[in-house]
Structure 1
Amino acid sequence: MNDNRRPYRKPMRMSGYDYNTNNRYFLTFCTERRQCILSTIKPGDVFNPAILTLTEIGTIVDSYIKSSENVQGITIDHYVIMPNHVHILLTLIHDETYNGSSRAPTPTNSVIARFISGLKRLINREIGHNIWQRGYYDHIIRNEDDYRNTWLYISNNPAHWAEDQYFQT
């Protein structure tokens, strides 16, 4: 605890890294209290080990992620909408003239922070209330092997839902 009697929060962003840098990023953001409201996952068969079915809210999330392809400088490479969280693998390629808006405070007012903030805000507006936990987790993709492993992790995540760190019944 610090002097203000507030619990210490570990910084979620890499210190000194410019999140406006053109690169690939793996992002994860969760529902409030990790409620399983986005999809359901049921066991499948040998050829399809998990059957992921989007809920009505998950369908809204999916439509906004797909429409994010129109966001200047961001390409959604791969994503999955799990029951209580979303994984997105994206590529950031932008120029210095991009000036999106966000309520995110400086110093997190990067293109990625504005993207996640805007995505959550639009989804919340359509649903009519906040469904998201504050913030998001990120991983900066370091090389092609890291990219490939992250892609496979996203693809295989539904099949490993019961072992997932966010698993809840």
Structure 2
Amino acid sequence: MPSHYDPQKHHRRSIRLKGYDYTTAGAYFITLCTHQRECLFGTIEDGQMQLSLLGQIVQSCWLRLPQHFQSVELDAFVVMPNHVHGIIWLGGMDCRGEAFAPRLIASSQDIHTNASPPPKDGTQPGSIGAIVQNFKSVSTRRINQLRKTAGRPVWQRNYYERIIRDQRALQNIRRYIQNNPLSWWQDQLHPNHPSKY
């Protein structure tokens, strides 16, 4: 990850490392988008997110993740009208030293910049993929129960993840998540910008 996090360039792309173990302790920046980018979760008013009932369900499901996954701790998080940003720590926040230690990384030819597809051989238990899958499944079920729309998609099939490599990147991403509601109208002015979801 670059030493300076530029949200307009980096927040909507996935760097999926071939062969990387996504059960590895550390911090992961996750973005999930609604199906067809439908604004389901509320509205932005005066730079503040006002959650709808569906947005409250999504927030509740996210905050309950540590109850379902013992190794998970949550960091900065925001529900937006048509997407969610959050930082998940695997192994807890006390693993920061390990998370930000230098690692052997796949060569640049092994780095892909598209959303993470479900693995062909199934999702590894305790992985970021398994956590996201659980969150999407539970929140979709609860939302569709409320709407009486069984089987209707809530989320895009894929999700976006980024391994957070250092403390500076962590602080920049936290700041970006916190300020995301303030940039909502700017995003709406450029719906076809290449960095859009």
TM-score (norm 2): 0.67
- Structure 1 residue 167, shift from structure 2 partner: 7.1
**Do the aligned residues in 2 keep the contact of 1:161 with 1:167 (CA within 8 Å)?**
no
In the alignment, structure 1 residue 60 sits paired with structure 2 residue 71: no
Distance in structure 2 (CA, Å) of the matches to 1:22 and 1:166 = 38
1:138 match: secondary structure: strand
For residue 91 of structure 1, what is the aligned residue in structure 2? 89
**Do the aligned residues in 1 keep the contact of 2:15 with 2:162 (CA within 8 Å)?**
no
Alpha-carbon deviations, 1:114-154, whole Å to 9, x = none?
A: 11101111111112232010110001001000000000000
Distance in structure 2 (CA, Å) of the matches to 1:88 and 1:75 = 11
Where in structure 2 are the equivalents of 1:99-110 lying within 5 Å? 105-106=120-121, 109=124
State how many pairs are aligned. 145
Distance in structure 1 (CA, Å) of the matches to 2:142 and 2:187 = 28
More helix by share: 2
Moved more, 108-117 or 68-77: 108-117
For residue 167 of structure 2, what is the aligned residue in structure 1? 144
1:121 match: secondary structure: helix
Mark the CA change 1:18 to 1:140 in structure 2 (over 3 Å): closer, same or farther.
Answer: same
TM-score (norm 1): 0.77
Mark the CA change 1:65 to 1:166 in structure 2 (over 3 Å): closer, same or farther.
Answer: farther
In the alignment, structure 1 residue 117 sits paired with structure 2 residue 148: no
Unaligned runs of 5+ in 2: 1-12, 93-117, 145-151, 192-197
Say which structure, 1 or 2, has more relative contact order (CA 8 Å, 6+ apart).
Answer: 2
Alpha-carbon deviations, 1:15-57, whole Å to 9, x = none?
A: 23211110100000100000011121022xxxxxx12100111
Letter in 2 for 1:62: Q
Once the two structures are aligned, what percentage of the paired residues are identical?
36
For residue 6 of structure 1, what is the aligned residue in structure 2? none
Distance in structure 2 (CA, Å) of the matches to 1:127 and 1:136 = 19
